Chain A
Amino acid sequence: MKVVIDAERCQGHGRCFSLAPGIFEFDDLGNGVVIGDGTLTDETIELARLAQSNCPEHAISIEESA
């Protein structure tokens, strides 16, 4: 499973990297970016879902198959 941020939608609300700093970080403009390739483990999936459910722009998605 993989988490991705749609850079077109992201407006830098910063909810993802605040809630789940191990999964997301921010760039120079303060927009959210996924750390590494975004692969989720059993330990990180819940946090990634929490970030997803707090992104006001609906920019975060979790690809179940990947």
Chain B
Amino acid sequence: MTDKQPVKDFATDWDHTDPQWVDDPYPIWEDLRGRCPVAHTERFNGGWFPATHEMVSAIANDTEHFTSRMVVVVNEKHPPDELPAPIGGAPPITSDPPFHQIARRLLLPAFAPGPVNALEPQIRALCSRLLDAVADKESLDGASDYAQFIPPGVIARMLGFPEQDEDLFREFVHLVLDLVDLPTEEREPLFEPMTAYFDAQIEDHRLNPRDDVTSYLLNAEINGEKLAIEHIRGTMVLILVAGIDTTWSAIGSSIWHLATHPDDLARLVNEPELMPLAVEEFLRFYAPVTMARLVNDDLDFYGAAMKKDDWILLGFPAANRDPAAFKDADKFVIDRLENRHLAFGLGIHRCAGSNLARLELRVAIEEFIKRYPRFELSGQDVTWAQGQVRGPRSIPLRVVA
């Protein structure tokens, strides 16, 4: 990594890893919406950032001009024949039509509401156990004592991995996310322990099939053929990476919001029936996930002269704050009735895990406020993750009697 210059003007030199953006991106996006259609940067070897709901929707729905070959902005762009970026094979997120649909259909039944809703009692028990573990502490951290542990626990159960391996998962996720900027040759050897772990789990499931996603993948077929082990492993990597930091961030942001907005916390405690609407507003207002695309061929987009292989930083969170698409877009409205937010994306790549993510978020918040109907920040040292997944990594809390 090179030392970077701080950004002076995000319209001509945006950088989503700049401390100002990491700390509070919302004023930057509002400013960009007001004065330029599409922000540009020479960083990352050239890219664009559209900040309106209309443009983000147009790009998400246009898989002809914008490819998902790489969905994380890095300095080095892979050539199109090096399949598929960014983590050595993660269909469907890195696939374009027509293959995308095949890989996606394969995954959807495992993440449909039926099988996902069946996990609710287990998720509730997990949350409750995490809260028991910190019950005697004077102060607790909403992120590192609680939110952080929920998605890995849930995914371990879905994949049928041993529960005691949850810490390992988190290491794998960070490995993948931290190393994404390295050239493939340097990355692959570092992934070896993870690859070996997955292979062992796959082998164990081959010998002892059970009712979980790993066995589901082992049984699945494309055109009458079983999946290659690389495909199964790639899907596991994707589920890990796509399902953990994202959901943990959403739970953390929601807890942070309630810690800093006592009126909303009181309403949610007193009117639990608001929960489904509140969950959607948490997702709109604090949408954790920004994706990327590459431009397929030179094109003019809303007056921007895009070049082949330029990055697009696809800001679903920015779209969610666009006043052209949402009334009082910059206000958190806990009982917002009309809420077509894009936190889970739009079009063919709609988050395959959205049913699971919503369930985890709802249950995590329900259990937390049941245990702690009143709480507040105990310090100002809340830290937000940098990169394309945004959420608090530490939320020091004090329980109010």
Q: Which residues of A contact B (CB under 8 A)?
A: 11-15, 17-19, 26-30, 50, 53-57
Please pick, from B108, B337, B346, B348, the residue contacting A56 in the complex, using a CB distance under 8 A: B346
Annotate B314-338 by CB proximity to A: 1 below 8 A, 0 otherwise: 0000000000000000000000011
* Further contacts, 6 of them, CB under 8 A, given A26-B112, A28-B108: A12-B350, A13-B344, A19-B276, A29-B109, A30-B112, A57-B350
- A54 with B338, Cβ < 8 A, contacts A12-B350, A30-B355 known: yes
Q: Given A12-B350, A13-B354, A28-B112, answer yes or no on A56-B342 (Cβ-Cβ < 8 Å).
A: yes
A12–B354 Cα distance when bound, in Å, is 9
| B347 lies within 8 A of A53 (CB) | no
Q: Which of B111, B338, B340, B344 has the most CB of A within 10 A?
A: B340
CA distance A53 to B114 in the complex (A): 24
- A28 touching B355 by the CB < 8 A rule? no
- For residue B19, CB closer than 8 A to chain A, the reply is no
Pull 8 A–B residue pairs with CB atoms less than 8 Å apart, ordered by A.
Answer: A26-B113, A26-B114, A30-B109, A30-B113, A50-B337, A53-B340, A54-B338, A56-B344
* B105 interfacial contact with A, CB 8 Å: yes
Q: B108, A30: Cβ atoms under 8 Å?
A: yes
Asked if B33 CB lies within 8 Å of chain A CBs, one says no
Residues of chain B contacted by A27 (CB below 8 angstroms): 112
Residues of B within 8 A of A11 (CB): 346-348, 350
Contact with A along B271-282 (1 / 0, CB 8 A): 000001000100
Q: Are A28 and B350 closer than 8 Å at their CB atoms? A: no
CA A17 to CA B108, docked complex, whole Å: 17
Partner of B105, one of A15, A29, A57: A29
Is B205 an interface residue when CB atoms closer than 8 A count as contact? no
Q: Contact at B113–A17, with CB atoms within 8 Å?
A: yes
Nearest opposing residue in chain A for B343, CB measure? A56
Given contacts A12-B350, A18-B276, contact A29 B338 (CB under 8 A): no
- Determine the distance from Cα of A12 to Cα of B338 in the docked complex, in whole angstroms: 18
**Chain B: interface secondary structure?**
helix
Closest CB in chain A relative to B239 CB, distance in Å: 16
Known: A54-B338, A54-B340, A56-B341. A28 touches B109 (CB 8 A): yes
Q: Chain A's nearest CB lies how many Å from the CB of B4?
A: 35
> Nearest residue in B to A13 (C-beta to C-beta)?
B350
| CB of B339 closer than 8 Å to a CB of A | yes
For B347, the chain A residues whose CB sits under 8 A away are: 11, 57
Q: Mark B94-134, 1 if CB is under 8 A from A, else 0.
A: 00000000000100110111100000000000000000000
Min CB–CB distance A45 → chain B (angstroms): 15
| Chain A residues whose CB sits within 8 angstroms of the CB of B350 once the complex forms | 11-13, 57
- State whether A12 touches B339 (Cβ < 8 A): no
- Shortest C-beta distance, B61 to chain A (Å), equals 9
CA distance A37 to B38 in the complex (A): 44
A54 touches B339 (CB 8 A): yes
Q: Write out the residue numbers on chain B whose beta carbons fall within 8 Å of the beta carbon of A28.
A: 108-109, 112, 114
Chain B nearest CB, measured from A7 CB (Å): 14
Return chain B residues, CB-CB under 8 Å to A56: 340-342, 344, 346
B58 CB to nearest A CB, Å: 13
Instruction: With A53-B338, A54-B338 as known contacts, state yes or no: A12 contacts B346, CB within 8 Å.
Output: no
What chain A residues lie within 8 Å of B346 (beta carbons)?
11, 56-57
Q: How far is the CB of A18 from chain B (nearest CB, A)?
A: 7
